[in-house]
Amino acid sequence: MFEQLGLIGCGLMGGSFALALKRAGLVKRVVGYSKSPSTTEKARQMGVIDLAAPSALLAVAGADIVIVAVPVSATEATLKAIKHLVTPDMLIMDVGSTKTDVVQAARTALRDQIGSFVPAHPIAGKEVSGIEHADADLYKGRQVILTPLEKTLTAHLQKAATVWTAIGSQVIHMSPEQHDAAFAAVSHLPHLLAFAFINGIASQPAGDDYMALGGPGFRDFTRIAASDPKVWRDIMLANREELLAQSKLFQQALHNIEQAMEKGNAQALEDMLTLASETRAHWRMGAKRK
């Protein structure tokens, strides 16, 4: 399907995408670039990429598909760096967790070549990062949100949908704004809360002793608190308005439960816990949206 994938950013997300395309026979060769030469070299040794490029621009040279898998704050500089070699036939995607800022960065950086860009957010990840955790199955069975701009070429949007579908993902289309509102709620807020929860315990003299008693509930609730701090710093800053709005709604719900506790209002407390428990018990990952 493709001759050459240009991979910019040899980390968990980009590396997994390259492996998935290779395994599915969708690409003949992968040319990769990372800011750190040793990371690029590791990706080559692992067989994630076939050739190491000394710059982002050279990773794009001759590619018919490009994936930009860098922290969202580096998107604009990266797209600017490759702009001169972008052609109308080239499909360019990102994998960022926020979309309005990425779309803005792409408009600024790509200008007349913006039609090649299909913003993408695969709902997949691990609490560990780095090329050594790259996994051809990372996107299998996962949702991928595409948030095209008005100027995105239809042919590229269709090609993007075909690629993700071919590696096992379920493609959903949304506007960048819809995307950021939804993910503030279901992804960015849980990360914010998990980070704050760990810091709240760590701030106490007995914090280490307390954490030593954590069981399976603690383990699962806090898993995402081990996520990459730089990646999440960028996401939280990029989507801060939606995230702060979601945090306010959360704090209101928390306040309601705490009030019932303080007043000893067992029935009101049980009603609120029942709403949460039943809502969560009926949830299924990847269920079709209404």
Return the residues of window 213-272 that contact a copy of itself according to CB under 8 A. Answer: 213-230, 232-233, 236-237, 240, 243-244, 246-247, 249-254, 256-258, 261-262, 264, 266, 269-270, 272
Position 23 contacts a copy of itself (CB under 8 A): no
Binding part of the chain for a copy of itself, among 31-39, 77-85, 153-161, 193-201 by CB under 8 A, reads 193-201
Binding part of the chain for a copy of itself, among 11-19, 20-28, 87-95, 199-207 by CB under 8 A, reads 199-207
DSSP character at residue 185: I
Residues 110-129 that bind a copy of itself (CB under 8 A): 123-125, 127
Please give the order of strands across the beta sheet that includes 91-94: 51-52, 27-33, 2-8, 65-68, 91-94, 117-118
Supply the DSSP string of 51-76, one letter for each residue. Answer: EE-SSHHHHHTT-SEEEE-S-GGGHH
Position 201 contacts a copy of itself (CB under 8 A): yes
Q: How many CA atoms lie within 13 A of 275 on its CB side?
A: 8
Dist CA 171 CA 122 (whole Å): 9
Which of 25, 112, 205, 287 forms a contact with a copy of itself (CB under 8 A)? 287
Beta bridge partners of 22: none
From residue 90, alpha-carbon distances to 33, 60, 113 in Å are 17, 9, 10
Residues 141-170 that bind a copy of itself (CB under 8 A): 142-143, 145
In this complex, which beta carbon is closest to a copy of itself, that of residue 113 or of residue 227?
227
Q: Residues binding a copy of itself: what is the number (CB under 8 A)?
A: 94
Position 202 contacts a copy of itself (CB under 8 A): yes
